[in-house]
Amino acid sequence: MPWLRSHRRFRDRLSVYIDGRLDDRARGELERHLDACPACRRDLTELRATVQALHDLPQSDVPRSFALTPAHLERPARPAPPRPAPGLMTGLRLSAAALTVALVAVVFVDVGGVAEDGTADRAARSGDIQQPGSREPPSEHYEAATPGPAAGEVGGDTDGNTGQTGSPATPTPIPDADTPTTRDTDDAEPSDNNSALAPVPTTPPGAEPAATSEAAPAEDGGFDALLAAEIVLAVALAVVVAAAVGFTFAGRKG
């Protein structure tokens, strides 16, 4: 409402007006508003009374002379008081900043993965293994890799890979969780010798079907965990921001 806005603007200028520090134009505008606004006239009267009361506060005499003696100067300065501990607001700000960075990192990596990996990433996430194109669904990777002749030889390498695939809940492994999938897909087709990237050795060769059925949910579970991490981060960020806003307004009111 325009009138209310201008009323607030004029009301905020009353303090400077009392001190005679408004320029001529602003003073003229305010005085015209005062003629028409009883509420501002009342505010002005009360503000003037407040300022006068403060001005009239009695001054106390000094309890003693503060003149310096050589003894004052020989004495070391009083120890500095303890620094105030970081307040709640500082903690909230730091948490919000950390969460924002984490959230941006997660989203960036995730969106970056989609852009780079295209539909396969979405397919893997949705479990749509019939996605057209040269991309193979994860379960097929595992099937193709499992009977590979080098399966037993690459145990050392795949240990790390398996670990990464199996624990994508923390932000750090997220890029790694996506990247092997892409590389698997691309590399596995030209040559099976690169199956070192596939997490085969976790399952003994004799348990191929079980390995297939377990590996695919593990991959899906990994992406679910990624989503869950994003959701948790987003919710945490929202809570921290809401708390910070709430405390800010509470501080102003209080």
Name the site residues for other proteins (rule: CB under 8 A): 12, 14-16, 19, 21, 38-39, 41-43, 45-70, 72-73, 77-78, 80-84
- The residue among 21 and 183 lying less far from other proteins, judged by its C-beta, is 21
Please state the closest distance from residue 39 (CB atom) to other proteins, in A. 6
**Helix axes of 119-126 and 208-253: crossing angle, nearest 10 degrees:** 100
Please state the closest distance from residue 77 (CB atom) to other proteins, in A. 7
- The residue among 14 and 174 lying less far from other proteins, judged by its C-beta, is 14
Please state the closest distance from residue 7 (CB atom) to other proteins, in A. 13
Ordered DSSP codes for 177-228:
HHHHHHHHHHHHTT-GGGGGGS-GGGS-GGGHHHHHHHHHHHHHHHHHHHHH
- The residue among 17 and 142 lying less far from other proteins, judged by its C-beta, is 17
- The residue among 47 and 225 lying less far from other proteins, judged by its C-beta, is 47
Please state the closest distance from residue 34 (CB atom) to other proteins, in A. 12
